[in-house]
Amino acid sequence: MDKNQQTVFSILMMRFGLDPYKSIPLTNQWFREHPEKHWEDLRQSLLNGEVIFNQDRLYDVNLPEIKALTRKMRGHRYTALK
């Protein structure tokens, strides 16, 4: 297992509470849906919040509207804390 794979499984475990036995089929499904992508791509997408886990599946969240809403929500949260 290379470093990117280890990082992906670590992110899935820490962020979503997924154990490796559940993470392996999820990543396999994601790669079937994205045959042009590699482990580095999935790692980067997870780190950027562009891939989320919901209802036993990894989903891409790369729509500009969702990204803008996420930035807006994060901005409000940080503003409220100041």
Report pTM.
0.74
Reported as a single tens digit per residue, the pLDDT across 15-43 is 999 988 999 999 999 999 999 999 999 99
What percent of the chain has a predicted confidence (pLDDT) above 90?
A: 57
**pLDDT interval class at 79 (50, 70, 90):** very low
What are the φ and ψ backbone dihedral angles of 60, each rounded to 5 degrees?
Answer: -80, 135
Smallest CA-to-CA distance from 63 within 76, 73, 49 is with: 49
Do 65 and 58 contact (CB within 8 A), yes or no?
no
Question: Exposed/middle/buried for 43, CB within 10 Å: 0-12, 13-18, 19+?
Answer: buried
